[in-house]
Amino acid sequence: MGNERLTQQISFLVEIDKLKTVLRKTFIMDRSRHENTAEHSWHVSLMAVLLLEHANEPSLDLHRIIRMLLLHDLVEIDAGDTFAYDTVGYQDKEERENAAAERLFGILPEDQRDEWMTLWREFEDGETPEAKYAAALDRLQPVIHNHYTGGVSWKNNGIVRSQVLKRLQPVREASETLWKFTQDILQKSIDLGILRDDPVSTKEE
């Protein structure tokens, strides 16, 4: 019985190795290549530990936040990384990711399948303070990458400030300090010419 559980768990560990081959639009800081989703998940998990003090909500459950962030993108193994600004890709994103979650977490023993599925849904639903803080960091991390890589992914994809600001709304809700930081880093990116500002007529405040 114990052995059967372990066999399922090892199969799962082998399967999720595939996340190391899912590439994001973001570049790693030395600009040598695209970032993959496994290393992104590592980075954003450490970021959650590091920046916890800036959350608006006091006494968040950091342990749950980290577990959520470690597994939040596993569905990309089947569903791929949907680029943040890909409106077509977003149309069936939910459906693709639900199917991926069913298959992937289905490899696990039942109790763990349910537990991991619950954590993943908490992140997706984005309603608990923990999920909101986790989402904020997940959105903020690529902005920092873009800023420090000369905006390569913004430029490649013709992104303008209002699109980033819209995408970064979860930061606004999760942390006053990080929201101010977000606005500052975007302004600095525009001043450096690595992010395009909106045409005057469509500018958001």
Q: Which chain residues interact with a second copy by CB under 8 A? A: 2, 5-6, 9-10, 12-14, 16-21, 28-30, 32, 35-36, 38-39, 41-43, 45-47, 49-51, 53-54, 62-63, 66-67, 70-71, 108, 112, 144-145, 148, 177, 181
Please identify, using beta-carbon distances, which residue of 6 and 99 lies nearer to a second copy. Answer: 6
Least Å distance, CB 90 to a second copy, is 25
- In sequence order, the 6+-apart residues with CB closer than 8 A to the CB of 91 are none
DSSP annotation of 19: G
Please identify, using beta-carbon distances, which residue of 65 and 84 lies nearer to a second copy. Answer: 65
Return the closest-CA partner of residue 148 out of 181, 113, 114, 188. Answer: 188
Return the closest-CA partner of residue 124 out of 104, 144, 95. Answer: 95
Query: Rounded to whole angstroms, how far apart are CA atoms 131 and 65?
Result: 7
Please identify, using beta-carbon distances, which residue of 22 and 195 lies nearer to a second copy. Answer: 22
Please identify, using beta-carbon distances, which residue of 89 and 129 lies nearer to a second copy. Answer: 129
Query: Rounded to whole angstroms, how far apart are CA atoms 159 and 151?
Result: 10
Least Å distance, CB 66 to a second copy, is 6
